[in-house]
Homo-oligomer: A and B are copies of this chain.
Amino acid sequence: MRGQVVVRLKQEVLDPQGVTIAKALDNLGYEGVGSLRQGKVFDVELATSDPAVARTALESMAKDLLANPVIEDYEIHLLEDGSGNGEEGNG
A residues lining the B interface (CB < 8 Å): 6, 8, 18, 21, 24-25, 28, 30-48, 57, 61, 64-66, 83-86
A47 engages B64 (CB within 8 Å): no
State the Cβ distance, A13 to closest chain B Cβ, in Å. Answer: 14
State the Cβ distance, A64 to closest chain B Cβ, in Å. Answer: 6
Which residues from chain B contact A8 at a C-beta distance below 8 Å? 41, 43
**A37 and B24 alpha carbons, distance in the complex (Å):** 27
**A30 and B45 alpha carbons, distance in the complex (Å):** 12
**A86 and B85 alpha carbons, distance in the complex (Å):** 9
A61 engages B30 (CB within 8 Å): yes
**A61 and B41 alpha carbons, distance in the complex (Å):** 19
